[in-house]
Structure 1
Amino acid sequence: MPAIDTAPVQDPEREGTPAAQPQLTTDYSGYSVVGARHPWRWVGTVIVAGIAAAILYSLFTNPRWEWDVVAQWFTAESILRGLGETLKLTAIAGTLGFVLGFVLALMRLSSSPLFSSVSWTFSWIFRSTPLLVQLLLWYNLGYLYDKISLGIPFTSVTFFEVQTTTLISQFAAAVLGLTLNQAAYSAEIIRGGILSVDQGQLEAAAALGIPKWRRSTRIVLPQAMRAILPTAFNEIIGLVKGTSIVYVLAYSELFYTVQVIYNRTQQVLPLLLVATIWYIVITSVLSIAQYYIERHYSRGALRTLPLTPWQKVRRFASTHAPRKESHEPAKSNR
């Protein structure tokens, strides 16, 4: 039975005089805390775990996956060279694409009708045509222009001239196609991030006399990055996988290298698995980088930063660690 405290209560209007009615206080120390039950959550967990176990069992017991062939080619020299070319294309096209996209975004936000129109037209053209068509067009640019020259426009003065077929190699066509296509999408991502910043903050900063460049770097950019980063990393991850399309140029990136090998060995599925696993590794590394960069820019927007994976592991271990029982006698409350 819960204890009832019948101590008299002082009347707030008449100090020192006990009230006629005793105050009833319930002692809840004898009650046990019962956690909420979630039966359907456990049912769903069992079903999902069963499906996952069945898939893993099929992967590792079906001999037609030929995991020994996958292990043989996974770190082969030709595969690693193709992987290096994929990473090189991703780094160059991603960097140049976002730099050009940033310039196009500023042009689109400019009050100049010419800048805004050029930026909109660029994004419209390159987002309206397939990447495959763009790559083939750049690779066959020599059919349209025999020579590419640099000089004073509308005059015969020329400073530099080169054959188009010499300048536009397989690598150059791949970089041009991927960069310009990436810039068209990056411009819209960056423009949307900049527009997401409340204009009232800029007006307040201008009223305080803060220089325009400082308003852009210290107020607009950190807040815009919170909106830009998730979509920007999705674009980079898409670019990693999009590099596989340059196989049409016979450029020796990862997917083209895998194709050459399985056309010779007829081991199609194992070598496709090699490419798949490498793409998963690259995108996993990018996803980890995305998590930490987004966590950095979430400061100021969240009261408490999300835990890192290592912090989650430590918290789980400390929560579920066995506790040492205390053998000291319990102190009496009496």
Structure 2
Amino acid sequence: MTAPATQPAEEVEAIRAVPVRHPGRTVAGVVLLLLIVWVAITVAGNEQFDFGAIPEYLFDPVVLSGVRLTIVLTVVSMVLGLVVGVIAAIGRLSENPVLRWVAGAYIWLFRGTPVLVQLVFWFNIGIVFPTVGISVPFTDISLVSVESNSVVTPVNAAILGLGLNSGAYIAEIVRGGITSVGRGQVEAAAALGLDPRRTMRRIVLPQAIPVAVPPLGNEFVSMLKYSALASVIAVQELLGSVETIYSVNLRTLELLVVASIWYLALTTLFSGLQSLLERRLSRGRTGIVTVRSSRFSLSRLWRWSA
């Protein structure tokens, strides 16, 4: 057999890789940069826009009060949504057909109607039910009765609207996290004698929570922005507070920029906290795997040495 012919060394050295050029990307980048510069110069040179009003009202007491109420609305509504969402998710996974139907109807209704419609509905619930209370079923005997308008205030209506709407989405997030856990693990837990409640608490939820955290964090950020809709029902949150100010001084765009800065700051803060939580959960799961792998290696080493 003859040895294969080899390529001369001078020819190998002559081969030189030439990167593929993409002139379209360069042109697009230059055009986009010029467009950004043109918009910035146009806005900066507009005499109708008062840039000095932005730092003037950024920490205004009325605006800060709206920021605090926005945070409270977001947190309380999210807690309500989590409670209702977990209950609805368990109902959707229940073997009871009535629970499945009720949970499915709730998710269908609140996901299928706009948030703004739900907020206005709860705000005007007093038209249909002037009073709310506790009464003896099938009788006219009332044990406790109060006026609806004194209970369902604008803030409470906003919490109900935002929380119940978010609960429908959270239910699907939690259900997806629960169903991501292998069915075999549930069956193995049942074979070991664990009841469904302990199986859910010790086996399913610890694995479902890391899966559900990223979409839940996104839902929280969305809730923060959806809270601006509460200004329609006279809630003085962040957007409502700047509306109150610019209705007097007519600096509409400047005050909207102030509100946007605060929304960006809050969403950036909570997104950073979400990233920290995700890394924390992933680190915990990696640590468990590492410990188990180490034990396995040590046990094998002990057997081999023996």
Give the C-alpha shift of residue 171 in structure 1: 1.1
Q: Secondary structure at the match of 1:150?
A: strand
Counterpart position of 1:5: none
Q: How far apart are the structure 2 equivalents of 1:40 and 1:99?
A: 55
Q: How far apart are the structure 2 equivalents of 1:105 and 1:173?
A: 24
Q: How far apart are the structure 1 equivalents of 2:283 and 2:169?
A: 27
Counterpart of 1:135, as a letter, is L
Give the C-alpha shift of residue 185 in structure 1: 1.1
How do 1:60-139 and structure 2 match up within 5 A? Answer: 62-64=44-46, 65-139=49-123
Counterpart position of 1:162: 146
Q: How far apart are the structure 1 equivalents of 2:25 and 2:284?
A: 37
Q: How far apart are the structure 2 equivalents of 1:38 and 1:240?
A: 46
Contact 1:109 1:191 in 2 (8 A): yes
**Residue-pair matches, total:** 270
CA separation of 1:213/1:56 partners in 2, compared to 1, >3 Å: closer, same or farther?
farther
Counterpart position of 1:7: none
Contact 1:142 1:165 in 2 (8 A): yes
| Post-superposition CA distance 1:20-69 (Å, at most 9, x none) | xxxxxxxxxxxxxxxx9977699969975984686378547714453321
How do 1:1-334 and structure 2 match up within 5 A? Answer: 51=32, 55=36, 58-59=39-40, 62-64=44-46, 65-299=49-283
CA separation of 1:216/1:51 partners in 2, compared to 1, >3 Å: closer, same or farther?
same
Give the C-alpha shift of residue 113 in structure 1: 1.0
Q: How far apart are the structure 2 equivalents of 1:75 and 1:241?
A: 20
Q: Secondary structure at the match of 1:298?
A: helix
Flag the structure with higher helix content: 2
Contact 1:222 1:297 in 2 (8 A): no
Which has the bigger relative contact order, CA under 8 A and spacing at least 6? 2
Counterpart position of 1:313: none
Give the C-alpha shift of residue 303 in structure 1: 8.5
CA separation of 1:208/1:50 partners in 2, compared to 1, >3 Å: closer, same or farther?
farther
Give the C-alpha shift of residue 287 in structure 1: 0.8
Q: How far apart are the structure 2 equivalents of 1:41 and 1:265?
A: 51
Q: How far apart are the structure 1 equivalents of 2:273 and 2:197?
A: 28
Alignment TM-score, normalising by the size of structure 1: 0.73
Q: Secondary structure at the match of 2:235?
A: coil
Q: How far apart are the structure 1 equivalents of 2:144 and 2:37?
A: 60
Counterpart of 1:200, as a letter, is G
Give the C-alpha shift of residue 220 in structure 1: 1.3
| Post-superposition CA distance 1:186-206 (Å, at most 9, x none) | 111111111111111222233
Q: How far apart are the structure 1 equivalents of 2:18 and 2:191?
A: 56
Consecutive unaligned residues in structure 1, runs of 5 or more: 1-35, 306-334
Residue identity over aligned pairs, in percent, reads: 36
Consecutive unaligned residues in structure 2, runs of 5 or more: 1-16, 290-306
Contact 1:108 1:117 in 2 (8 A): yes
Give the C-alpha shift of residue 109 in structure 1: 0.7
State the Cα RMSD in Å.
Answer: 2.9
The structure with more radius of gyration: 1
* Worse-matched range after superposition: 65-74 or 205-214: 205-214
Counterpart of 1:228, as a letter, is A
Alignment TM-score, normalising by the size of structure 2: 0.79
CA separation of 1:104/1:215 partners in 2, compared to 1, >3 Å: closer, same or farther?
same
Q: How far apart are the structure 1 equivalents of 2:92 and 2:166?
A: 16
* Worse-matched range after superposition: 59-68 or 118-127: 59-68
